[in-house]
Structure 1
Amino acid sequence: MTVEISDATQILATGSGPITGDEYLPCRPDDVFWGDLPCAADTPAMTVEPGTSVTIDTLSHEGILADQGRDPRAFFGGHGVAPEMVLDEAIELCASDRPHRFGIDGPHVTTGPIEIAGAQPGDLVAMTVIETLRRVPYGVVSNRHHKGALPGEFPAGEANYSAFVSVDAIPDGSAFGVMPLDVGNPEATARFPLAPFLGIMGVAVAGPDRAHSVPPGPHGGNIDLTVMTEGSTLYVPVQVPGALAYVGDPHFAQGNGEVALTALEASLRATIRFDVIPAVEVNERFGALVAPIAETQDYLVPTGLDVDLDVAVQNCVRAAISVLGARYGMQPAQALAYLSAATDFDISQVVDVVKGVHARIRRSDFAR
């Protein structure tokens, strides 16, 4: 499918358009992390006080990787995207001598890290999504390298498969992804709502070695948690002084599971507020927190992580029991019974080596 996307007013270039945060962190090609995540030894891109909001530009990895030609103008041009509609950061990163080891490094581009003054191990960093803005009016869903939920079946043959998706924005502010049912017949399409979020939200790992960008962990990272849309907060256990927080892997939409390997990957400008929950308050609010936990207007969202999906579910159930006890004083046996009767446990993703599960506990069930 090719589309005519040529109106450059539809892109958010560096420094252009709305910047609503207290601070602004662009996605500079020389400063981003590509394939790995910050560690304790890395220098922060900026330092902020708790309570500060930062508008952060992020860059999707789709269209810049070696197996896609490391030439985003050519890659997206093949789908009808005019050269001026490709973000400069993507072009500059690919044109640089920045090393990226194909098949070894992760694919993701990450912006940061941001030092949060006073944050210490034992605390939580609270990352609240204030706003997400689309930087481009298109994105890509990929099934590559015989990965995903059906690695022996897709992609067919040796070729990687990338599905191009255009964005249909309507006057009421809603936006939809448009994908052809068959690339040979672009007139017949599927149209699905967008719900932008950042797949990578996390903090630096301890020690001198950076974490790989693909598997999530206690540091957060590539958690691919779809509930992290505007208004939601992710709480991540601090691993190093200052936390050194970062974001990346922007999505316009994703189904829980992310079964192809990627979801609708596309660049976002996100405004995030950073707060610190002191260690003395963590147990009272969340219990014995091991993995990150999210909170939305409607739900508490504990997570469970493991390479074994069964164990990830068990870890999520344990986290849910813990938070119910801490937040509401619920007896563990009663909490397990409640979860079985009233809570959905969703697969966050099955494609990032370490699989993720998240629970959605209705906050209204405990209104007093």
Structure 2
Amino acid sequence: MTGVRLTTNAYPHDQRLEAWRFALQRVSLELDGGDEDIYGDLVSFTSGQKIQFIRCTGTAQALTLDFRQEARCFWLVLLLEGRLTATSGDAVVEIGEGDMVYGGGDTRCRITAEGDFRLLIVKVPHSLPALKSRSQLPTQISDLIADTAVGRMMSSLLRTVADTILDISDDQIRPVELALPEMIAATLLDRAPAKALGGAAGGRAAILERVFQSIEMRLSDPNLNTHQIASEHNISPRYLQKLFEQHGESFGHYVKLRRLERCRLDLGSPLHAQRSISEILFQWGFNDSASFSRAFREQYGMSPREYRKSPESVGTSAEAPRRGRPEKARDVRLENREPASVLEGVLPGADALPALDDAARTRRHHFLPARPDTIHWGYFSRSLSPALEVRSGDYVTIETLTHHANDDAERMIEGDAGAEAVFHWTAEGKAVERRGAGPFDASALGRGPGEGFGVHICTGPIAVEGARPGDVIEVRILDMEARPSQNPRFAGRSFGSNVAAYWGFHYKDLLTEPKDREVITIYEMDDEPGRATAQAVYSYRWTPQTDPSGVVHDRYDYPGVPVDPETITRNFDVLRDVTIPVRPHFGVIALAPAHSELIDSVPPANFGGNIDNWRLGKGASCFLPVGVPGGLLSMGDPHASQGDSELCGTAIECSMTAVIQVILHPAKTSRKYIRGIDYPMIETPDEWVILGFSHPDYLKELGASAQSEVYKQSSIDAAMRDAFRKARRFLMTLRDFTEDEAISLLSVGVDFGISQVANGNWGVHAVIRKSLFSS
């Protein structure tokens, strides 16, 4: 990525105005007027797809956006703080925080801030296939309000970019490069008048664009044909062929070129270094290696093996293969096509994340925010309606909230619209009524609906198309970031809470008085790249808290109870000079149990759940056996850091946003160590982590009272034995070892550790290092 950074505070007072004016000009902005007291801070970068992001902060001033001398583009302005008035010709648009104004590159626009402001300007090339083939540029400015569905999604996505603009990497921006053009195209198509869509020609273009996307999502099917695609779009195979002829291409040749490009990208990716060429070519729908090798050499001038050895040199060649639609796939709808140099490195709207794994580049990218209608609190259930439906290989940017955010609402909830909505609780009721898997009428303990048997805020569930019992779902965690505070006092900073609670392993073994104390410690995370750390801010002892419904909580016994700051004493002299490495991970990744009741979110089991193993973070995969059709994946309980055992009952509980990829492995998958697994397993680039529990399938093992009995019958001995049995079976399957060989290796080369002693069903894990095996 390329970009600029400037703050006027770096210049002498009398030079600030000109320095600011010059910095704005570098990103095609003009300052109207201004004085020497002006303040401005500007950060910009341009992504690999030539999408430009400009974060601008300043005092009252007027700026003019003028992109008319540049390549055709779509632009938008997201207001992060303050109020703005946008003017273009006779059109005047006023926007508030979270709202957007947008227009085409030929539209000159003046934006005026009467007070301090913070905004993000985004400029997207119209040459990106997601826009070029599906929408015309707007000719006047329009607003996009944050309380609309697409407005919420775009605002949330771009706010994350703005907050991380100094640290974001090429890999991290790729999901945005995929999602943003698609969102813009959908917005423009939705708002365009019928005549602007181009009549019959526009209709053909729209059909062809949908066909392109269908092909991208089915490239791995070796039986892909015109009849299949034509039937999906309710057109005849002959008409489909005519569409391709008008596009300057045949269906079969187009499909071959797209498959070759997918193979090329995988061959050049270090993430696929362990996969054979045969695995890759079969993955993308080729039927034999000989024809693949010939086609690859014809297209790229070298064999697949030669390309794999020197992908960097190919990437810099004048004849380097293009990303996106094949160069030969001519777009006959454009009389003045962009030259090849402009299209270099550009991905079509249906592509995604070219440096990522498996079928990544052909899959869709979804955004799943945390809202009252997209979360379930404290339980799993096979009866939940999906919050999202995906196909195997799709990507999801997923927001997850910690149920501990009310330990310091000022830092972790205030100003955050999503968190405020989920945690909303007044005397009149809650936004999320059920919190836990216990009786809804609070008939057992009187603590509130759900009784607190189960505590985690889970985003989802996500249904996976085609998932059936016997299959395995792999959840790849591609990235994780702490959710920053939206309170202006703590803007851009991230916080989490650790509770030394009554359910902690330590609780009955305290030395100092009072021995029945529960202590909350608030941490702040510093996510500087390469050395992310956490430090304690303050701690306090739990005091009886009266919730908005009037119930008094003497202990930390019900999730989401707001802590009244006036009732606690903060101790800021805590853990001085102690710096904790941050290793973000999910505590909860679960599929729906094959069980008719609501299932408490606390005890983990064969379906996954509250695993609480810190290895389940960025770069790891979690494999889960499917118990019900669709799988119904839920994620939550995000942690900034945790040690093995989670001794005191919690980690640093911190809201997180992650990018994941969901892969469906059918029951007869060729990966034999996955086939038939009936327990959750973690895989990292260096290790397999086998998870054992005191009762691996407690819902079946412990009978009708399983959800209460599991808390009474856990032991490290039982968890260790389960981890041993699973690890033994894994090694015998993975390497065809005899039982004696597996047992010897488990003793001399495998590390067993305590995952957690906090979740009712205690856990032990076996860490099998891949370096043990020479091949």
Q: Are residues 28 and 321 of structure 1, via their aligned partners in 2, closer, same or farther at CA, if it must alter by over 3 Å? A: same
Give the secondary-structure state (helix, strand or coil) at the position aligned to 1:201.
strand
Relative to structure 2, which stretch is displaced further, 307-316 or 244-253? 307-316
Q: Are residues 156 and 255 of structure 1, via their aligned partners in 2, closer, same or farther at CA, if it must alter by over 3 Å? A: farther
Return 5+ residue gaps in structure 2 as ranges.
Answer: 1-79, 82-117, 119-152, 162-172, 180-364, 437-446, 485-493, 540-570, 695-713
1:31 corresponds in structure 2 to 374
Give the secondary-structure state (helix, strand or coil) at the position aligned to 2:392.
coil
The answer to whether 1:185 aligns with 2:514 is: no
1:141 corresponds in structure 2 to 498
Q: Is the 8 A contact 2:583 2:617 kept in 1?
A: yes
1:238 corresponds in structure 2 to 626
* Greater fraction strand: 1
Alpha-carbon shift at residue 157 of structure 1 (Å): 4.6
Q: Is the 8 A contact 1:108 1:213 kept in 2?
A: yes
Residue identity opposite 2:376 in structure 1: F
Give the secondary-structure state (helix, strand or coil) at the position aligned to 2:499.
strand
The answer to whether 1:298 aligns with 2:686 is: yes
Cα deviation, 1:306-342, whole Å, max 9, x if unaligned, reads: 1221111111111111111111111111101111001
1:201 corresponds in structure 2 to 589
Among 732, 753, 757, the alignment partner of 1:325 is 732
Q: Is the 8 A contact 1:180 1:190 kept in 2?
A: no
The answer to whether 1:219 aligns with 2:607 is: yes
The Cα RMSD (Å) is 2.6
Residue identity opposite 2:367 in structure 1: Y
1:164 corresponds in structure 2 to 522
Give the secondary-structure state (helix, strand or coil) at the position aligned to 2:383.
coil
Give the secondary-structure state (helix, strand or coil) at the position aligned to 2:616.
coil
Residues paired across the two proteins, number: 344
Among 80, 83, 92, the alignment partner of 2:421 is 92
Give the secondary-structure state (helix, strand or coil) at the position aligned to 2:579.
strand
Cα deviation, 1:262-308, whole Å, max 9, x if unaligned, reads: 01110000111111111123882246533211111111111101122
Q: Are residues 169 and 233 of structure 1, via their aligned partners in 2, closer, same or farther at CA, if it must alter by over 3 Å? A: closer
1:110 corresponds in structure 2 to 458
**Aligned equivalents of 2:413 and 2:409: distance in 1?**
8
Alpha-carbon shift at residue 208 of structure 1 (Å): 3.2
The answer to whether 1:48 aligns with 2:390 is: yes
Give the secondary-structure state (helix, strand or coil) at the position aligned to 1:188.
coil
TM-score of the superposition, structure 2-length normalised? 0.42
**Aligned equivalents of 1:90 and 1:230: distance in 2?**
23
Q: Is the 8 A contact 1:112 1:246 kept in 2?
A: yes
Cα deviation, 1:213-251, whole Å, max 9, x if unaligned, reads: 100011101001211111111100100011011100000
Q: Are residues 282 and 62 of structure 1, via their aligned partners in 2, closer, same or farther at CA, if it must alter by over 3 Å? A: farther
Residue identity opposite 1:224 in structure 2: D
Give the secondary-structure state (helix, strand or coil) at the position aligned to 1:110.
strand
Give the secondary-structure state (helix, strand or coil) at the position aligned to 1:189.
coil
**Aligned equivalents of 1:195 and 1:130: distance in 2?**
14
1:267 corresponds in structure 2 to 655
Q: Is the 8 A contact 1:124 1:282 kept in 2?
A: no
Relative to structure 2, which stretch is displaced further, 104-113 or 51-60? 104-113
**Aligned equivalents of 1:82 and 1:345: distance in 2?**
35
**Aligned equivalents of 1:361 and 1:93: distance in 2?**
39
The one of the two structures with greater contact order (alpha-carbon pairs below 8 A, sep at least 6) is 1
Alpha-carbon shift at residue 133 of structure 1 (Å): 1.1
Among 151, 155, 161, the alignment partner of 2:507 is 151
1:17 corresponds in structure 2 to 160
Give the secondary-structure state (helix, strand or coil) at the position aligned to 1:256.
coil
Relative to structure 2, which stretch is displaced further, 207-216 or 181-190? 181-190
**Aligned equivalents of 1:156 and 1:263: distance in 2?**
23
Q: Is the 8 A contact 1:288 1:322 kept in 2?
A: no
Alpha-carbon shift at residue 110 of structure 1 (Å): 0.3
**Aligned equivalents of 2:735 and 2:597: distance in 1?**
39
2:719 corresponds in structure 1 to 312
Alpha-carbon shift at residue 156 of structure 1 (Å): 4.1
Q: Are residues 288 and 243 of structure 1, via their aligned partners in 2, closer, same or farther at CA, if it must alter by over 3 Å? A: closer
